């Protein structure tokens, strides 16, 4: 399993995902500014991994907590796991001060716990998702949602790999994911290591593959899920959902409860990151939307560590969050 980060010798080391699959280069971050820079330029990416990296970033900047929290919180707007980690870190920091303990030490214990809990959530999501596959399922996935994106075993891709090991996957279609090719570079790299059968396709091939009858289900991750089940994920997910709906193919979202934003009622309230046009083309001006919102009525189910949530999401999400707050 590919791990995108490790905390060692007082520094956060990040596997630079911008260099994969060609080179495996580790970046050593001793200051939170370096972590913020790595998150901004997608050296570390994927909603849960961003949350874990930010948790360790707070450890590095514990002496100036609020400044560090602002800096890390400003890096990427859509993945709510970032805000979730910062809010969690703030509560830990304040408790440490109250107890007269060194904040950096307490924050490190907490960040290690965040990483462990993500790995456990990934395992549970994969186990719950098995029920969504049939023998020989041909799955279409988008972006990268494997271990690289979570610091565990992954969300959607972790579930696909588990289903593959259980003999339930016949083939994986990997959308290349323009413009930064998280599918063609990172998902392909992870599936190769898992030994699962896959082919990379251009994003614009998806509907044609569905029309040919070559796709049984679509499985993707999420960067933020609103209370009503609207899902923000990598740009292109909405188009996939529309095409899947047209062909009667289920679209399942796999995401931990930390990706659900109880403060956002629906997709209209989710901020969508716009990135540098130069990532799209150097020859013309471009609009580079990093994410889109898939309306909840195009989402067949949302797989979380608490189980498979089904419509109406307002109810199933509410119950899952309520149950979590009681544990």
Binding footprint of ligand MRU on the chain (CB under 6 A): 42, 45-48, 79, 143, 145, 149-150, 155, 182, 221-223, 233-234, 290
Distance, CA of 187 to CA of 208 (rounded, Å): 21
Sheet architecture: strand order including 231-234: 224-225, 231-234, 291-294
Nearer to ligand MRU, 143 or 251 (CB): 143
Nearer to ligand MRU, 96 or 259 (CB): 259
Q: Which of 114, 145, 103 is nearest to 52 (CA)?
A: 114
Distance, CA of 307 to CA of 276 (rounded, Å): 37
Least Å distance between CB 312 and ligand MRU? 23
Query: Is the Cβ–Cβ distance between 223 and 196 less than 8 Å?
Result: no
Least Å distance between CB 269 and ligand MRU? 18
Angle between helices 32-40 and 47-60 (to 10 degrees): 160
Least Å distance between CB 28 and ligand MRU? 21
Helices (H), 220-267: 237-246
Query: Is the Cβ–Cβ distance between 308 and 247 less than 8 Å?
Result: no
223: annotated active-site residue: yes
Distance, CA of 277 to CA of 175 (rounded, Å): 21
Nearer to ligand MRU, 62 or 121 (CB): 121
Least Å distance between CB 223 and ligand MRU? 5
The helix or strand, by DSSP H or E, that contains position 222, with its residue range, turns out to be none
Angle, vertex CA 203, rays to CA 253 and CA 4, nearest 5 = 60
Nearer to ligand MRU, 107 or 139 (CB): 139
Nearer to ligand MRU, 46 or 229 (CB): 46
Q: Select the residue whose beta carbon is closest to ligand MRU and give its number.
A: 221
Catalytic residue among 223, 230, 261, 292: 223
Q: Which two tokens stand for residue 201?
A: 């396709």
The helix or strand, by DSSP H or E, that contains position 163, with its residue range, turns out to be helix 156-165
Least Å distance between CB 187 and ligand MRU? 10
* Residues designated catalytic: 223
């Amino acid at each position: 399993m590919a791990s995108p980060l490790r905390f060692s010798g007082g520094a956060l080391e990040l596997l630079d995902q911008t260099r994969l699959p060609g080179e495996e280069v580790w970046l050593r971050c001793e200051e939170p500014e370096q972590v913020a820079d790595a998150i901004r330029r997608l050296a570390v990416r994927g909603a849960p991994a961003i949350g874990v990296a930010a948790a360790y970033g707070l450890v590095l900047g514990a002496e100036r907590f609020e400044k560090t929290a602002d800096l890390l919180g400003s890096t990427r707007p859509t993945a709510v796991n970032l805000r979730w980690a910062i809010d969690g870190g703030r509560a830990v920091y304040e408790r440490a001060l109250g107890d007269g303990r060194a904040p950096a030490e307490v924050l490190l214990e907490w960040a290690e716990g965040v990483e462990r809990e993500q790995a456990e959530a990934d395992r549970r999501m994969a186990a719950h998702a098995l029920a969504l596959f049939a023998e020989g399922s041909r799955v279409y996935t988008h972006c990268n949602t494997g271990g690289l994106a979570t610091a565990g075993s992954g969300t959607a891709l972790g579930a696909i790999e588990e289903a593959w090991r259980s003999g339930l996957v016949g083939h994986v279609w990997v959308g290349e994911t323009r413009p930064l090719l998280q599918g063609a570079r990172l998902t392909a790299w992870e599936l190769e290591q898992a030994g699962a059968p896959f082919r990379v396709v251009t994003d614009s091939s998806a509907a044609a593959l569905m029309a040919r009858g070559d796709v049984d289900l679509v499985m993707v991750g999420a960067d933020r899920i609103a209370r009503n089940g609207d899902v923000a994920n990598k740009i292109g997910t909405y188009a996939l959902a529309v095409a899947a709906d047209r062909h009667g193919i289920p679209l399942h979202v796999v995401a931990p409860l930390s990706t659900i934003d109880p403060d956002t009622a629906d997709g209209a309230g989710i901020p969508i990151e716009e990135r540098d046009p130069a990532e799209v083309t150097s020859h013309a001006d471009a609009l580079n939307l990093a994410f889109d919102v898939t309306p909840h009525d195009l989402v067949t189910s949302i797989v979380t560590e608490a189980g498979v949530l089904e419509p109406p999401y307002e109810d199933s999400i509410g119950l899952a969050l309520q149950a979590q707050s009681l544990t």
